[in-house]
Amino acid sequence: MQDYKSLFNILTQAIDVEQKKLSSTSPMQMYEPMAYIIGLGGKRIRPLLTLVGCDLFDVNPEHATQSALAVELFHNFSLIHDDILDKAPLRRGNTTVHEKWNTDIAILSGDGMMVKAFDELCKSNPVHIHNLLKLFSKTALEVCEGQQYDMNFETQQTVSVEEYIHMITFKTAVLLGCSLQMGAICANANDLNQHHVYEFGKNIGIAFQILDDVLDVYATDDKFGKQVGGDIISNKKTFLLLKAIELATQNQKESITHLLLSTDMVEKVSAITTIYNDLNIKEIATAEANAYTTIALKHLHEINVNEEKKNMLKQFAFHLLNREI
Amino acid sequence: MQDYKSLFNILTQAIDVEQKKLSSTSPMQMYEPMAYIIGLGGKRIRPLLTLVGCDLFDVNPEHATQSALAVELFHNFSLIHDDILDKAPLRRGNTTVHEKWNTDIAILSGDGMMVKAFDELCKSNPVHIHNLLKLFSKTALEVCEGQQYDMNFETQQTVSVEEYIHMITFKTAVLLGCSLQMGAICANANDLNQHHVYEFGKNIGIAFQILDDVLDVYATDDKFGKQVGGDIISNKKTFLLLKAIELATQNQKESITHLLLSTDMVEKVSAITTIYNDLNIKEIATAEANAYTTIALKHLHEINVNEEKKNMLKQFAFHLLNREI
């Protein structure tokens, strides 16, 4: 992370300026929630990746600032609307927009925030705008589709592991790939390098999401930031659950079906975890995540830039993936 | 309208193709509502104006098809979300998206439809994309702001006529100006011509909206398509009401305040209409609309194209404005 300190400073400054602008624009009923959610912080991984994607090709990362802001604005729009759909009371430990104001305000300020993201792209170097818009709108649509698949899963009787991977790819991973590639576009990287940068980000994103499912069950310290076992309690169709159902014996399948209906949450978390352990789900999931990381690293290897910069990006990816279990 | 028949055919064909694509894209839970709302029809004024704006400069209007689709997709996105905010059960005589499916689906398919609008722009001639995106995103943001102002008015104690004009300008009129200008951009029109085309559309839009308020009270036939007196019944802060409050005597003001609380809707519509009549509100509103039409025509006059095409556009605008009262 130390290596990206200067990039992070550029980013923080740009976001601060944007937040101030948002908080002083009329109508305040629409812009205040935007300033609020962007002010809640978060790790800023996506816009940082955009600056990294530009810096990787030895171009001043400030050329990618508008793209970084666009990515962060879009991500925050999706948080506002997803929180409505998920009926989530909290976001980053703070009240969600629809709870702090109301659903109408959350819908409209989310809409405005998405438009702001596209508007931000206009401020980029005109020679890049076509490519940036093409990638960004394609990705934005995939993110919406991913969210829809995730919603569908809640009521869908059976979900395959393959469908699950497709869902997390769209809902989460493509925006990471897009973030990096937008930086690469701003750095005039060629199509092949852009492709590899995108695939690196996307595959790291898939690995990250699978490991997130693992952490939800097996995290042992405070670094996770969410309730351990939360996915089991809420019957979320995670990689672990779907893989377990795929590999379970008839008996285990019946146990799982039975446990999903259980109201004793302590027993439910404990019993499902036992089944996961019996089926080696943690190891299988970790191996699956590693497989995506390996694909990502192959793409990183193919990017035609100096090794030192590639190594920095590799370290950053490992830093993201190796959260404590 | 006869004059624009060929443009309307191009448009209808493009929308039909788009609707078919939408209705066969996955996830269907997200795309079906998009195909549904775009299939409800409507007058297609905005996308038609885009083709008109291109044709005006003697360029094949098919060059503006993508922009026309973008405008129509954006307009339909705004209908889906506005209907949620307005809790509207019907749109164009059919069930609204959030009623036919649910609010979550309406939020997400609306989001997707907005992204589709921006995505559609990518397919334009690359030399125009920067200008198209700049105009389109600026306008889209204004439309969201207009919707927020409109929402604010519901609970705002006092609203000035000036604030009202600002609201309808953003909520409705700018998209008409934008629609025309996008066509002009696709036709390589110069900046000055683009400016006049935009201002023509915007000012016609303001006039249209004021006349819509007049029609809501004074329409006498079926052509209006909405319930006469609906705005009075729902205490909507229209140009007529705000102007009446501005011009009312102390006695009339008290009557209005009293009537706004009335539950006898027949008496309410009749008594408020009487006050409007006493204050000549219909004539004042019509004169205000005419003033905006005059501004629009001045801009039309300044556009540097042949008189015949300008005359066609003028006739089309009059056709829009002169709905039966």
Residue B207, pLDDT > 80, answer yes
Residue B26, min C-alpha distance to chain A (Å): 8
Confidence of residue B322 (pLDDT cuts 50, 70, 90): confident
Average pLDDT of the segment spanning B75-97 = 95
Q: Which residue in A144, A166, A170, A178 has the most chain B C-beta atoms within 10 A of its own C-beta, making it the best mutation to test that interface?
A: A144
In this model, does residue A160 exceed pLDDT 60?
yes
B102 in contact with A, Cβ within 8 Å? no
Q: How confident is the model at residue B21 (pLDDT cuts 50, 70, 90)?
A: very high
Q: Which two tokens stand for residue A159?
A: 């979900």
Interface test with B, best of A115, A147, A153 (most B CBs within 10 A): A115
Cα separations in angstroms, A253 against A238, A242, A244, B284? 16, 11, 8, 75
Task: Give the tokens for residue A87.
Answer: 């009926």
**Looking at beta carbons, which residues of chain B come within 8 Å of A148?**
27, 29-30, 108, 112
User: Nearest residue on chain B to A143, judged by CA atoms?
Assistant: B112
Rounded mean pLDDT, B47-63: 97
Mean of the per-residue pLDDT values for chain B? 95
Task: Average the pLDDT over B49-64 and give the result.
Answer: 97
Q: What pLDDT was estimated at residue A4?
A: 92
Q: Which of B84, B119, B130 sits opposite A137 (nearest CB)?
A: B119
Q: Does A75 touch chain B (CB under 8 A)?
A: no
> Touching check for A2 and chain B: CB below 8 Å?
no
Helix A265-278 vs helix A250-260: angle between axes, to the nearest 10 degrees? Answer: 160
Over pLDDT 90: what percentage of chain B?
92
pLDDT at A9: 96
Q: pLDDT tens digit string along B165-194?
A: 999 999 999 999 999 999 999 999 999 999
The answer to whether residue B222 scores a pLDDT higher than 90 is no
pLDDT at A15 over 90: yes
Amino acid at residue number B15 = I
Res B32: pLDDT: 98
pLDDT tens by residue, A212-236: 999 999 987 666 666 788 899 999 9
**Over the stretch A249-308, which tens digit does the pLDDT of each residue have?**
999 999 999 999 999 999 999 999 999 999 999 999 999 999 999 999 999 999 999 999
Task: Please list every residue in chain A whose beta carbon sits closer than 8 Å to the beta carbon of residue B21.
Answer: none
Q: Are A122 and B130 inside 8 Å of each other by CB?
A: yes
**How many residues are recorded in chain B?**
325
Can you give the pLDDT at residue A166?
98
The band of A3, judged by pLDDT with boundaries at 50, 70 and 90, is: confident
User: How far A124 CA sits from the closest chain B CA (Å)?
Assistant: 10
For range B296-309, the mean pLDDT: 96
The pTM score is: 0.96
Of the candidates A30, A116, A149, which has its C-beta nearest B27's C-beta?
A149
Q: pLDDT band for position A26 (50/70/90)?
A: very high
The percent of residues above 70 in pLDDT, for chain B, comes to: 97
Q: What pLDDT, in 10s, does the model give residues A50-91?
A: 999 999 999 999 999 999 999 999 999 999 999 999 999 999
A322 pLDDT tier (thresholds 50, 70, 90): confident
Mean pLDDT over residues B7-12, rounded?
A: 96
Select the residue from A127, A133, A142, A185 to test the B interface by mutation, using most B Cβ atoms within 10 A: A133
Q: In this complex, is the C-beta atom of B3 within 8 Å of any C-beta atom belonging to chain A?
A: no
pLDDT at B2 over 80: no
B137–A115 CB contact, under 8 Å: yes
Nearest residue to A288 (alpha-carbon basis) of A239, A228, A242, A324:
A239
Interface check for B159 against chain A (CB to CB < 8 A): the answer is no
Cβ pairs A/B, distance under 8 A = 114
Give the length of chain A: 325
Q: Report residue B35 CA to chain centroid gap.
A: 20
Q: What pLDDT digit, counting tens, does each position of B242-293 carry?
A: 999 999 999 999 999 999 999 999 999 999 999 999 999 999 999 999 999 9
- Chain B environment of A108 (Cβ under 8 Å): 81, 85, 144, 147-148, 151
Helix (H), strand (E), coil (C) string for chain A: CHHHHHHHHHHHHHHHHHHHHHHCCCCHHHHHHHHHHHHCCCCCHHHHHHHHHHHCCCCCHHHHHHHHHHHHHHHHHHHHHHHHHCCCCEECCEECHHHHCCHHHHHHHHHHHHHHHHHHHCCCCHHHHHHHHHHHHHHHHHHHHHHHHHHHHHHCCCCCHHHHHHHHHHHHHHHHHHHHHHHHHHCCCCHHHHHHHHHHHHHHHHHHHHHHHHHHHHCCCHHHCCCCCHHHHCCCCCHHHHHHHHHCCHHHHHHHHHHHCCCCHHHHHHHHHHHHHHCCHHHHHHHHHHHHHHHHHHHHHHCCCCHHHHHHHHHHHHHHHCCCC
The span from the CA of A127 to the CA of A185, in Å, is: 10
Mind listing the pLDDT tens digit for each residue in A100-116?
999 999 999 999 999 99
Any chain B CB within 8 A of the CB of A147? Answer: yes
Whether B144 and chain A come into contact, CB under 8 Å, resolves to: yes
Average pLDDT over residues A15-32: 97
Residue of A nearest to B149 (CA): A27
